[in-house]
Amino acid sequence: MSQALQTAGLFVTREGNVTPAFFLIMIAFPLLWSRRWILGFACIFLGLVVALRRAMDEMAAQDKAEIRFRILKAHDVVQEMKSEKDAAILNSALESLAEKINNTQKHKEYADDEVELHCLEAAYTALKRHEISPDDLLLAGSLSLLALVAKNKAVRTQCQKFGLKLPLTALKQSLEVSSQMPEEELSEPAERISADVQRKGCLWLGALADNNKRLATLVVDEGGLEAILSAIDWYRHHQDVNNWGLWAIFILCYEHSINQMELVRLGGLQILCQSLENNCDSLEVCRHGVAVLFDLLRNTNNDSDSSNNSRDDMAKLMKMRKVAIGSGLHNAVHKAMKNCQDSIEIVGMGAELLISTGFQGDIPVYQGVK
């Protein structure tokens, strides 16, 4: 509102003409001079009311919508979104719903299922609009809201109804557009938003599958793992994208032999090693990257649908280790350990990885917390 007041001015139009409010205020002075107090103050009050009303009329539609969305209930926000076409206003609606969820979670151990389900519907409503007229800011807002409610049980049960195709397609297309755009045409803000879309997409997919093997299978079957690997591969030096991408891969593949084999089939070992090498100065990237490789290449399989240490399992394991070594496993893990010697997790898992895959050379040791 203050921005609108500054732009329009209380008493002067953009063209330089005086407003009715200015006229009323000017009338008040002679009335006050002649001690006609009631009329004088009435003119001042009326002038201010007229000025504020004019400022409200000129306030941006997005600002008005933002105020309205904060007042409305989640259900009413979703209903308004269904008839809205402006991407900025839709984004304001998504932000207001995120605030409602955060406020609910502050006062309860678990958020209200009804509010979270409305958030799910709102995110898909925005995604449908994005499908018609692509807008990365709107896509980022939708994915952010999806990630916020992804762990809710009621939301997870609705995955079959809403499906993963719409957000995953949007995520892949956004990366495709960014990767195909000439470097001179891609501005820094646009590239930053595009990277944020991929980061939030990884966060959403990981949160959705966390501690749920059925959903982890569904995400990979629908192409979620491929989308994550593409994001990490393209934004190979972007630590936030790599961090959340590797975290999501760990969630999807942890003790999940079918997803692990799909990771290998998609060339994931090369991308994992590349990510570690390019971001070895990031503690979180190294932690998640080494954890994925450790779970993938260790000599134990805890899946209930396979026998431990069977010949088939060992054959698969040896094949994966061979592919990993050829993808630069030793150099990537050694670099991560050397740069994170104060992390007992990284050094411990890394040492076992190097020893079990026949590494020749000095293995970094844990140096304690610096």
For a pLDDT cut of 70, what percent of the chain falls above it?
A: 87
Helices 188-209, 224-234: axis angle to 10 degrees equals 150
The backbone region for 255, taken as left when phi is positive above 0, alpha when psi lies in -120 to 50, beta otherwise, is left
**What is the rounded average pLDDT of the residues 152-160?**
90
CA-closest candidate to residue 169, choices 143, 151, 144, 148: 143
Q: Provide mean pLDDT across the span 5-11.
A: 49
Residues 6+ apart with CB under 8 A from 218: 159, 164, 209
Classify residue 12 by its DSSP letter.
Answer: B
The tens digit of pLDDT for each residue in 191-213 reads 999 999 999 999 999 999 999 99
Residue with the larger pLDDT of the pair 267 and 186: 267
Average pLDDT over residues 291-305: 74
End-to-end CA distance of the chain: 50
Mean pLDDT of 319-334: 94
29 pLDDT more than 90: no
User: What number is the average pLDDT over the span 139-153?
Assistant: 95
Q: What is the pLDDT of residue 4?
A: 42
Average pLDDT estimate for 17-21: 73
* Spatial distance between the Cα atoms of 177 and 185, rounded to a whole number of angstroms: 12
Summary mean pLDDT of the chain: 87
